[in-house]
């Protein structure tokens, strides 16, 4: 099955879609001015210590202080890890940790920390002192003191080969390392080169930190495009396609340093249609904003997101393909389990997730649905934990929350219903208008168009996104007129030839 990575770059938004065959399997979005901060390293200053929460608030120069749990404060207990461990050992180390936070940190103390989770709602970002600097094959852990972790997916002869290479690399005694799954077939020269590169980054971080006063950003994680290339562009990917010459050039330069043999798989899209439209996934992306998802069997999944949890309901709807209700429920639930795992991943939903499957009488059926869900979740990069299915078909699960979900990023509270529902923001509609204008001008004979939209959208197009309209006019040698219409819904935009 062909695997493709498609990267659509617009002036204000970057979108990445990963396809297997014709199915959208992963989707990521990053906007200019709203770049995620997970992975960034700061020199921060302890603002307050809250003994009751076993945590400290740390000023890192952002709008909200970061939140540092006692279990995330680096201490000598890291030395209790075995020389070789799997990645889960790092999390196990924190469990049951009871040392008092005021014995570990003091108010106004300057410390080096890393963003582990982005700020969500009123909560500031979660921090850790267990710093990790990821490369393509290796993750440098400068505070782990000679502990080596090897991905569980590297087994047998490959694992023995990797261990031998690590001995020959002469890793510094005060440095820890995790070998990623991508290193399974990596040559010694590639691993050695990356280790030197990561050590140079750590050296620069230490030097900058020693010179600057807190709060100060001392290391910034890659943007979305380079993170995808580093972490997801592996040998099993058939093609990585970009629609921006500048980004294509940047990716090729990056690959020259880290993985030159993959450069032949990178292509520049030159079509007249939008990249996502050409591959038939623009409509698939739009469906990610809908509450109701239709299954092939005509059953449905209804997804409701709140601030603290996600509720998912499975219904048979129009499906009646089996002879009895139990078989109908089982068949629908099996299909829904696989689709739910995909939707959770695509929408980047995190926290507590409650799934209400259709009631099933047979314990064996409930067990198989549970297995199908767990199996489908294995491809998820985020950590998940699934509890057993109840007698009424309810499954509780958790998924690692790293930042805002796709819905939280794209929508704002609806001004028409005071937050009971949601509509797209003026910023989101403005980006969509930009795409629709390009499409209309590539298809229509008229060089002059009128955009009729809600005043909020018009205001956004006329001020913050004025440069986008100017860009379209220059590129297509046309004139764009923008007219407000108070009676229109904020998502209702008409583009007419004049």
- pLDDT tens, position by position, 200-224: 999 999 999 999 999 999 999 999 9
Q: How far apart are CA 427 and CA 436, in angstroms?
A: 14
The structure tokens listed for 107 are 């108010």
Beta bridge partners of 133: 140
Look up tokens 């409650």; give the residue: 354
- Domain assignments of the chain as residue spans, ordered by start: 3-35+224-280, 41-219, 288-406, 420-497
Count of beta carbons in the 10 Å neighbourhood of residue 207: 11
The percentage of residues in the chain with a pLDDT greater than 70, rounded to a whole number, is 92
Q: Is residue 322's pLDDT more than 80?
A: no
pLDDT band at 99 (very low <50, low <70, confident <90, very high): low
Look up tokens 């993959």; give the residue: 262
- Inter-residue contact 390 to 355 (CB < 8 Å): no
Give the pTM: 0.81
Q: Is residue 285's pLDDT more than 80?
A: yes
281 φ, ψ (degrees, to nearest 5): -115, 0
Tell me, what's the pLDDT at 125? 92
Mean pLDDT of 357-365: 91
CATH ID of 288-406, from 3.30.1370, 3.60.21, 1.10.3470, 2.60.120: 3.30.1370
Mean pLDDT of 378-387: 89
- Superfamily for 41-219? Nucleic acid-binding proteins (2.40.50.140)
Q: Is residue 442's pLDDT more than 90?
A: no
Instruction: Give the sign of the dihedral formed by CA 273, CA 276, CA 279, CA 281.
Output: negative
- Inter-residue contact 31 to 12 (CB < 8 Å): yes
Alpha helices by DSSP H, 132-244: 156-169, 188-211, 224-232
- Cβ partners under 8 Å of residue 407, min gap 6: 289, 305, 347, 349, 422
Q: Is residue 484's pLDDT more than 90?
A: yes
Mean pLDDT of 345-373: 92
When the pLDDT of each residue in the chain is averaged and rounded to a whole number, the result is 87
Mean pLDDT of 492-496: 92
The distance in angstroms from the start CA to the end CA of the chain is 46
**Digit-coded pLDDT (tens) for 9-68:** 998 899 999 999 889 999 999 988 777 889 999 999 999 999 888 999 999 999 899 999
Q: Is residue 403's pLDDT more than 90?
A: no
Tell me, what's the pLDDT at 419? 66
Mean pLDDT of 421-438: 89
Top CATH class, 420-497: alpha beta
Nearest to 343 by CA among 275, 429, 428, 284: 284
Q: How far apart are CA 349 and CA 293, in angstroms?
A: 15
pLDDT band at 483 (very low <50, low <70, confident <90, very high): very high
Q: Between 7 and 383, where is the model more confident? A: 7
The structure tokens listed for 77 are 């207990």
The structure tokens listed for 454 are 């809600």
Q: Is residue 362's pLDDT more than 60?
A: yes
Tell me, what's the pLDDT at 476? 87
Tell me, what's the pLDDT at 443? 80
Tell me, what's the pLDDT at 213? 92
How many angstroms separate the Cα of 486 from the Cα of each of 33, 76, 322, 451, 452? 29, 63, 51, 13, 10
Mean pLDDT of 63-87: 69
- Cβ partners under 8 Å of residue 322, min gap 6: 328, 330, 331
Alpha helices by DSSP H, 348-443: 363-377, 406-410, 426-443
Q: How many CA atoms lie within 13 A of 248 on its CB side?
A: 16
How many angstroms separate the Cα of 108 from the Cα of each of 56, 66, 194, 212, 301? 11, 14, 36, 15, 50
Q: How far apart are CA 91 and CA 85, in angstroms?
A: 11
Beta bridge partners of 438: none
The structure tokens listed for 171 are 């890793």
pLDDT band at 417 (very low <50, low <70, confident <90, very high): low
pLDDT band at 82 (very low <50, low <70, confident <90, very high): very low
- Inter-residue contact 495 to 449 (CB < 8 Å): yes
Q: Is residue 83's pLDDT more than 50?
A: no
- Cβ partners under 8 Å of residue 103, min gap 6: none
Helix or strand (DSSP H, E) at 480: strand 479-484
The domain defined by 3-35+224-280 folds into Nucleotidyltransferase; domain 5 (3.30.420)
85 φ, ψ (degrees, to nearest 5): -145, 165
């Amino acid at each position: 099955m062909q695997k493709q990575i498609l990267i659509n770059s617009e002036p204000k938004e970057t979108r990445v879609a990963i396809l297997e065959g014709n199915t959208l399997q992963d989707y990521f979005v990053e906007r200019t001015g709203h770049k995620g901060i997970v992975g960034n390293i700061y020199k921060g200053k302890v603002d307050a210590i809250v003994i009751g929460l076993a945590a400290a608030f740390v000023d890192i120069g952002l709008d909200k202080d970061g939140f540092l749990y006692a279990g995330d404060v680096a201490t000598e207990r890291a030395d209790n890890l075995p020389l070789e461990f799997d990645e889960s050992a790092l999390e196990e180390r924190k469990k049951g940790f009871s040392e008092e936070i005021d014995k570990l940190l003091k108010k106004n103390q300057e410390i080096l920390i890393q963003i582990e989770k982005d700020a969500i709602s009123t909560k500031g970002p979660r921090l850790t002192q267990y710093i990790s600097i990821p490369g393509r094959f290796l993750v440098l852990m400068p505070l782990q003191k000679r502990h080596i972790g090897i991905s569980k997916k590297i087994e047998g002869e490959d694992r023995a080969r990797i261990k031998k290479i690590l001995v020959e690399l002469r890793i510094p005694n005060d440095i820890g390392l995790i070998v990623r799954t991508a290193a399974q077939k990596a040559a010694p020269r590639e691993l050695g080169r990356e280790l030197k590169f990561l050590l140079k980054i750590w050296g620069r971080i230490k030097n900058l930190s020693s010179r600057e006063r807190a709060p100060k950003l001392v290391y910034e994680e890659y943007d979305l495009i380079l993170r995808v290339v580093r972490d997801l562009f592996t040998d099993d990917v058939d093609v990585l396609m970009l629609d921006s010459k500048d980004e294509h050039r940047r990716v090729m330069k990056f690959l020259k340093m880290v993985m030159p043999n993959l450069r032949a798989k990178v292509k520049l899209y030159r079509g007249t249609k939008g990249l996502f439209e050409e591959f038939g996934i623009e409509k698939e992306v739009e469906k990610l904003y809908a509450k109701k998802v239709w299954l092939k069997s005509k059953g449905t999944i209804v997804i409701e997101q709140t601030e603290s949890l996600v509720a998912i309901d499975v219904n048979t709807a129009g499906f009646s393909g089996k002879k009895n209700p139990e078989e109908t429920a089982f068949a629908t639930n099996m299909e829904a389990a696989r689709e739910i795992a995909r939707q959770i991943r695509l929408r980047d939903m995190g926290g507590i997730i409650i799934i209400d499957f259709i009631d099933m009488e047979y314990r064996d059926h409930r067990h198989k649905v549970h297995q199908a869900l767990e199996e489908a979740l294995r491809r998820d990069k985020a950590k998940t934990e699934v509890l057993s299915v109840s007698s009424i078909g309810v499954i509780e699960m958790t998924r690692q929350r790293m930042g805002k979900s796709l819905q939280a990023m794209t929508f704002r509270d609806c001004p028409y219903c005071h937050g009971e529902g949601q509509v797209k923001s003026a910023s989101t509609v403005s980006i969509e208008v930009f795409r629709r204008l390009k499409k209309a001008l590539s298809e229509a004979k008229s060089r002059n168009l009128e955009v009729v939209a809600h005043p909020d959208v018009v205001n956004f197009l006329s001020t913050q996104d004025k440069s986008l309209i100017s860009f379209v006019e220059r590129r297509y040698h046309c004139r764009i007129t923008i007219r407000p219409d108070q009676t229109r819904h904020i998502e209702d935009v008409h583009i007419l030839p004049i």
